[in-house]
Structure 1
Amino acid sequence: MNKRISVIGVPMDLGQNRRGVDMGPSAMRYAGVIERLIALGFDVVDRGDIEIGRPSKLDVIEEGNLKDLKVVVKANQSLYEKVRSVGEQGDFPLVLGGDHSIAIGTLAAVAKERENLGVIWFDAHGDLNTGETSPSGNIHGMPLAVSLGLGHQSLAELGGYAPKIKPENIVIIGARSLDAGEKQLIREKGMNVYTMHEIDRLGMTQVMNEAIAYLSCGTDGVHLSVDLDALDPQDAPGVGTAVLGGTSYRETHLAMEMLAEQNMVTSAEFVEVNPILDVRNQTAVAAVELMGSLFGEKLL
């Protein structure tokens, strides 16, 4: 893993309709992410936050059943340019969200330099909706579909190309709330999904061994996207769309530790920390501790 990390904050809460997740980057910085990574021996550069515009009205349904489409596109374009810039300097991009719609910009940037980018998607949700299948019109439920080239053109073609990733290069872990359209797309594309049923049945060790083996063949880099709602609300209460029955704090740490041992992750983002809904910054602290494990922190 690259020894220089560029941290980029994206204070975006417009991809969904619960305010507060725009404070996620500040909460994770307050929880000590920069200091923790420096203590692990990394050269860390905090690139600050992407500027996010505010529409005069929020949650406005624009064309194609999409809420706040224009401002979400603009923010992701800015993020795309920033991540591309730090990537060209050889840095490891670590993006702090913000809602999960920011993955549109991150993936557009990191996939640009790779032929077969692998993606590990820790999330309670599939994020595989389009405007046609989404019950809510919230774009934070669409970034994986968009990155596959599906959905509104201004999202799918962000960065000037589509698709960004291939369905066979995706592994979703922790899913337990999937919409009908998402289930259909997963079956059609044959995507590799480990729901909580598989995690309960197989255990996190086997799930991660299988995911690592699967993505070790044929990919030329792996992007890790961690939505904190993948964890059970008991361990991460400060998220906008909590779903009972998620991965435990220790299970998720194990997953990060196993990825660190393989040294296969080439970019990462941690999203959906909402301090308004949190308890004593517990979720931001958990996110920072997970980053510590991802970047090689050990118990002994």
Structure 2
Amino acid sequence: MSRQVQIIGAPMDLGANRRGVDMGPSAIRYAGLAAELKDASVESVDSGDLVVPHAEERDPDAEQPSEGRAKFLRETAEVCTGLADEVADAIEADSFPLVLGGDHSIAIGTINGAARDADIGAIWFDAHGDFNTPKTSPSGNVHGMPLAAVLGIGDFAGTEWANADRLREENVALVGLRSIDEAERDAIKNSDVTAFTMSEIDERGITPVVEEALDVATDGTDGIHVSFDMDWLEPKEAPGVGTPVRGGATYREAHSALETVAERDENEDILRSMEVVEVNPILDEHNETAELATELAASALGKRIL
């Protein structure tokens, strides 16, 4: 990648049901992110962390949608609005925003920043669909809602802070699904997003699936956003996540997926922004999930064996 990478920490844990992901940005940095990027011949600058309110100081139900529940919705809106500004400013300065989570609710901010002045597509590497709304969510945790939020589904329709008008459903590809709520399953099926399950990856192989996902995300867009949840991987590979699900991507599949993204970017200059989320050091073993996060970020940005 020829552009400078701007690292932005988003230590958010208000959207998750387990504490600890707020330490994810620090763990990823400690694991050697800057060195990994340097090895990939990528220049980077670290902008530090956004300020995120502490859960103990806030009422999770202080502001709620018309139907259902979304915990800490007001605080999530505040943080994501600030993150959107930072991402948009980085892009305007011709830098590449690499956002470190934090729980997956921060994707609302990253995508809104990336889509502020451009039509974008998105590739969502995740075990979960993140397609719930406050009405359908069993838990009320916003980290299960970010994709629905940016697409303006349900109570998120028309919300200035969440609904990204320049991201269309037909330019969204979910890759590696294996844990979906019933209402969420119906919503995905009735939408125009493209969804690939882990079973499809097993049948076809990771590279053809990611190539097709890239075709979806780049069709008629100005660039793409890559959202990478570490729980996409097999828990034995990435134990330090809040919502592990067995049967995930292997170490090699994960690298191959992001190397495929990087190869397309090298040829077509498509990457606009990226986030790596849901690293939970409390649940990790010897910081290996954070270390893997640094490796995968470097693969997405062009690091190769040869």
- Measured against aligned partners, the alpha-carbon deviations of 1:202-244 in whole angstroms (never above 9, x if no partner) come to 1112212222233343221010000000001010000000001
What SS is found at the alignment partner of 1:149?
coil
Looking at structure 1, the residues matched to 258 and 298 of structure 2 have their Cα atoms a distance apart, in angstroms, of 9
**Residue 158 in structure 1 maps to residue 164 in structure 2:** no
Which amino acid in the other structure matches residue 94 of structure 1? L
Select 1:270's aligned residue among 250, 262, 276: 276
Which amino acid in the other structure matches residue 132 of structure 2? N
**Residue 124 in structure 1 maps to residue 130 in structure 2:** no
Q: 1:118 to 1:156 in 2, by over 3 A?
A: same
Native 8 Å contact 1:156 1:163 kept in 2: no
CA RMSD of aligned residues (A): 1.7
Which amino acid in the other structure matches residue 63 of structure 1? Q
**Residue 149 in structure 1 maps to residue 152 in structure 2:** yes
Looking at structure 1, the residues matched to 58 and 200 of structure 2 have their Cα atoms a distance apart, in angstroms, of 38
How many residue pairs were aligned?
A: 298
What SS is found at the alignment partner of 2:8?
strand
Looking at structure 2, the residues matched to 217 and 188 of structure 1 have their Cα atoms a distance apart, in angstroms, of 20
Task: Give 2:113's aligned residue.
Answer: 109
**Residue 14 in structure 1 maps to residue 17 in structure 2:** no
Native 8 Å contact 1:204 1:255 kept in 2: yes
What SS is found at the alignment partner of 2:161?
coil
**Residue 83 in structure 1 maps to residue 94 in structure 2:** no
In structure 2, the gaps of 5 or more residues are none
Cα drift, residue 57 of structure 1: 5.2
**Residue 34 in structure 1 maps to residue 66 in structure 2:** no
Identity of aligned residues (%): 48
Which amino acid in the other structure matches residue 119 of structure 1? A
In structure 1, the gaps of 5 or more residues are none
Select 2:240's aligned residue among 238, 241, 256: 238
- Structure-to-structure mapping, 1:1-300, within 5 angstroms: 1-56=1-56, 60-61=60-61, 62-64=63-65, 65-115=69-119, 117-153=120-156, 156-158=159-161, 162-263=164-265, 264-300=270-306
Looking at structure 2, the residues matched to 16 and 217 of structure 1 have their Cα atoms a distance apart, in angstroms, of 32
Cα drift, residue 73 of structure 1: 1.2
Native 8 Å contact 1:55 1:71 kept in 2: no
TM-score (norm 1): 0.94
Which amino acid in the other structure matches residue 18 of structure 2? R
Native 8 Å contact 1:99 1:140 kept in 2: yes
Which amino acid in the other structure matches residue 166 of structure 1? R
Cα drift, residue 152 of structure 1: 3.7
Q: 1:215 to 1:73 in 2, by over 3 A?
A: closer
Looking at structure 2, the residues matched to 162 and 31 of structure 1 have their Cα atoms a distance apart, in angstroms, of 32
Looking at structure 2, the residues matched to 282 and 21 of structure 1 have their Cα atoms a distance apart, in angstroms, of 15
What SS is found at the alignment partner of 1:45?
strand
Native 8 Å contact 2:16 2:143 kept in 1: yes
Native 8 Å contact 1:122 1:172 kept in 2: yes
Q: 1:162 to 1:249 in 2, by over 3 A?
A: closer
Native 8 Å contact 2:20 2:282 kept in 1: yes
What SS is found at the alignment partner of 1:219?
coil
Cα drift, residue 59 of structure 1: 7.4
Looking at structure 2, the residues matched to 233 and 153 of structure 1 have their Cα atoms a distance apart, in angstroms, of 32
Native 8 Å contact 2:118 2:166 kept in 1: no
Cα drift, residue 154 of structure 1: 9.4
Native 8 Å contact 2:3 2:94 kept in 1: no
TM-score (norm 2): 0.93
Looking at structure 1, the residues matched to 51 and 154 of structure 2 have their Cα atoms a distance apart, in angstroms, of 25
Cα drift, residue 68 of structure 1: 1.2
Looking at structure 1, the residues matched to 202 and 262 of structure 2 have their Cα atoms a distance apart, in angstroms, of 23
Cα drift, residue 158 of structure 1: 0.4
Looking at structure 2, the residues matched to 24 and 155 of structure 1 have their Cα atoms a distance apart, in angstroms, of 31
Q: 1:156 to 1:228 in 2, by over 3 A?
A: farther
Cα drift, residue 66 of structure 1: 1.0
Native 8 Å contact 1:147 1:156 kept in 2: no
Native 8 Å contact 2:14 2:55 kept in 1: no
What SS is found at the alignment partner of 2:9?
strand
